[in-house]
Amino acid sequence: MNLRDDARALSDDLIRMRHDLHRTPEVGLDLPRTQERVLAALDGLPLEISTGEGLSSVTAVLRGARPGGPTVLLRGDMDALPVAERTGLPYAAEGDLMHACGHDLHTTMLAGSARLLATHRDRLAGDVVFMFQPGEEGWDGAGHMLAEGVLDASGTRPVAAYALHVSSSIHASGVFATRTGPLLAASNVLDVTVRGAGGHGSAPHRAKDPIPAACEMVTALQTWLSRAFDVFDPVVLTVGSFHAGTLPNIIPDTARFTATVRSFSPEAFERLREGLPAVCRGVAAAHGLEVDAEFIEQYPTTVNDAAEADFIAETVREVHGEERYEPMENPILGAEDFSRVIAEVPGAMAFLGATLPDRDPETAPSNHSPLAAFDDAVLADGSALYAELAVRRLEAEAVTA
């Protein structure tokens, strides 16, 4: 079986599906039109399909030729972003939403792999679970699908789980990249409200001004980060919102800021969880103010299983050629809820460069930009890689079992 050639024969269909999804982006956990489009793409294939209860997910199970065989899970996320597209492409979305992170490509490639594997199911040494997931962009869609039982969809826990993520910059079109160990950071939020007592701007001694204390917290947090953490275990904190007051001569009652907090190791996570609110409480106490400082957990670190990441690299090299694989020296500080899946079962995620051929990967607009654009040419090879990973991993498992 040559999945790569079969996938290329599907290319026109894949491009059509992707453009259709791209024109009608949906955000969050409820993506009714996207779900409909996925169900239409899977229609007629020999799949056991179920849809989510609390979210518009699609879980499809393909039974291989050997009953009772192992299971591999393939995941593609489906949600868009609240970004107004400015690419000027003929299939650009109108309105305030955009597939600026390329999840329309993931959805399409996963559907493509289902079609490829259905054609070759007689050669599958086990079952494949296709996980079409809404709500990756901060909605914890993966967590919801895990709670609804996606890992038990085939009746046996997956021996491995894989996901691809396209990139509109950094990697040239068609280049796959991954690494063993941490691939993406843990992403959490610090939410701080400093409580003072408002008054007239001319008489601060009669009020309790929350603004200087909140400003001090912002700098104290950065200083603390630089003193309390091993430099070889990176942490990043960015205060992305800061709000207080209305007019120059009014001292407000409260000041509020929120920060995104990125880290990798469990030790750093624990120290941040305890330490960040403690720094804010200490500064507030020095000013005689109250503070609510809450550390809100979002996504854990995405840690690739070493053997599964090596297996992706080896599969890319064998199927698509040596030059199509690029090892990543460092992780990146973005985050993913696929982290939850591969915290439960062994697995790995890889990036797939989709920079437009006429753009420089170094300077091309990145994912989440209103100008981000993705090369359709990767759809066939991405579909083929998903399919190859399932075929080869099931075969390997069957041989060792």
- Tell me which residues touch Zn ion (CB under 5 A): 101
User: Residue with CB nearest Zn ion?
Assistant: 101
Burial string for 31-41 (b: 16+ CB within 10 Å, else e) reads: beebbebbeeb
154 vs 304 by CB, closer to Zn ion: 304
State the minimum distance, in angstroms, from the CB of residue 100 to Zn ion.
9
101 vs 276 by CB, closer to Zn ion: 101
Return the biggest CA–CA distance within the chain: 81
CB atoms within 10 A of CB 200: 11
167 vs 254 by CB, closer to Zn ion: 167
Quick check: 365 and 328 in contact, CB under 8 A?
A: no
State the minimum distance, in angstroms, from the CB of residue 330 to Zn ion.
19
101 vs 125 by CB, closer to Zn ion: 101
State the minimum distance, in angstroms, from the CB of residue 34 to Zn ion.
14
60 vs 164 by CB, closer to Zn ion: 164
State the minimum distance, in angstroms, from the CB of residue 101 to Zn ion.
3
CB atoms within 10 A of CB 65: 12
159 vs 354 by CB, closer to Zn ion: 354
Look at strands 347-353 and 158-167 and give their pairing. parallel
Q: In sequence order, what are the residues at sequence separation of 6 or more whose Cβ sits closer than 8 angstroms to the Cβ of residue 189?
A: 258, 259, 260, 261, 295, 296, 298
State the minimum distance, in angstroms, from the CB of residue 165 to Zn ion.
6
State the minimum distance, in angstroms, from the CB of residue 256 to Zn ion.
28
Q: In sequence order, what are the residues at sequence separation of 6 or more whose Cβ sits closer than 8 angstroms to the Cβ of residue 44?
A: none
